[in-house]
Amino acid sequence: MKKEDIITLPNPHLRQKSTKVHVVTDETIQLIKDMTNAALDWEDSRPHEISAALAAVQVDRLERVVIIRSDFDNKSNREFTALINPEIIKGESGKNTDFEGCLSVKSVYGKIPRWNKVRVKALDTEGNEIRLKAEGFLARVIQHEIDHTNGLCIVDHIKNDKKAFFTLDENGELQPLDYDKNIKNNSELWPDND
Ligand SMILES: [Zn+2]
């Protein structure tokens, strides 16, 4: 798959719940490979951004599968770890607010509140149940991807927060967006608004 296979708002599939994977099959493994290729193709087209993770719904497959970059700090490491049916067991240590972007939300970054620490349950690619604890940026990324499996996008967390919307300028710097002008009545972000 290529970056063109990544769907973006206002595609309504991004607001749908994905279904559980009952058995991890060769098709699941192929899906993970396809997602990895799409994420890397997207990254290769962007000078200032990294593909930190991707959920299957973003390539228009409504299955609870996500991939997460194995090393966020080193772009030359192009490996991802797949989590199947990932679920947050518990959010801990309060929340913090930080910038997030999404491959499916064009040109908009948001300041999104997330749990500082999460405990997560999932299946690995062999179908074994795994449990993990995450904190910091990894915890944030996992919460973002699990949101996708539940039909939630970053903007849905901050819909009425006038100061939470940003965009990247040509130098890769975040700049605030004018909420009333760019966000409030944006039919790409909120296609169901009257
Ligand atoms: Zn996303």
Phi, psi of 137 (to 5 degrees): -65, -35
Q: Is the pLDDT score of 155 beyond 90?
A: yes
* pLDDT single digits (tens) 7-20: 999 999 999 999 99
Average pLDDT over residues 131-157: 98
Distance 79 CA to ligand 1 centre (A): 18
Phi, psi of 182 (to 5 degrees): -100, -25
Distance 27 CA to ligand 1 centre (A): 22
Distance 42 CA to ligand 1 centre (A): 13
Query: Do the domain assignments include residue 38?
Result: yes
Q: Is the pLDDT score of 194 beyond 70?
A: no
Separation between Cα atoms, residue 53 and residue 68, nearest integer Å: 4
Average pLDDT over residues 75-100: 97
pLDDT > 90 fraction of the chain, expressed in percent and rounded: 95
Query: Do the domain assignments include residue 27?
Result: yes
Query: Do the domain assignments include residue 188?
Result: no
Position with higher pLDDT, 107 vs 24? 24
Which of 37, 76, 27 shows the shortest CA–CA distance to 58? Answer: 37
**Catalytic machinery residues:** 145
- What is residue 121's predicted lDDT score, i.e. its pLDDT? 98
Query: Do the domain assignments include residue 34?
Result: yes
Separation between Cα atoms, residue 166 and residue 103, nearest integer Å: 15
Show the domain range for 114: 3-183
Average pLDDT over residues 62-69: 98
Distance 144 CA to ligand 1 centre (A): 6
- What is residue 48's predicted lDDT score, i.e. its pLDDT? 86
Query: Do the domain assignments include residue 155?
Result: yes
Confidence of residue 171 (pLDDT cuts 50, 70, 90): very high
Confidence of residue 51 (pLDDT cuts 50, 70, 90): very high
Number of domains in the chain: 1
Average pLDDT over residues 59-84: 96
Domain with residue 57: its CATH number is 3.90.45.10
Q: Is the pLDDT score of 191 beyond 80?
A: yes
Distance 145 CA to ligand 1 centre (A): 6
Query: Do the domain assignments include residue 20?
Result: yes
Average pLDDT over residues 187-192: 93
Query: Do the domain assignments include residue 105?
Result: yes
Average confidence score pLDDT of the chain: 96
Q: Is the pLDDT score of 47 beyond 90?
A: no
Distance 147 CA to ligand 1 centre (A): 8
- What is residue 68's predicted lDDT score, i.e. its pLDDT? 98
Residues ≥6 apart with Cβ < 8 Å to 149: 17, 18, 55, 56, 57, 64, 66, 86
Separation between Cα atoms, residue 34 and residue 19, nearest integer Å: 18
Query: Do the domain assignments include residue 65?
Result: yes
Distance 53 CA to ligand 1 centre (A): 8
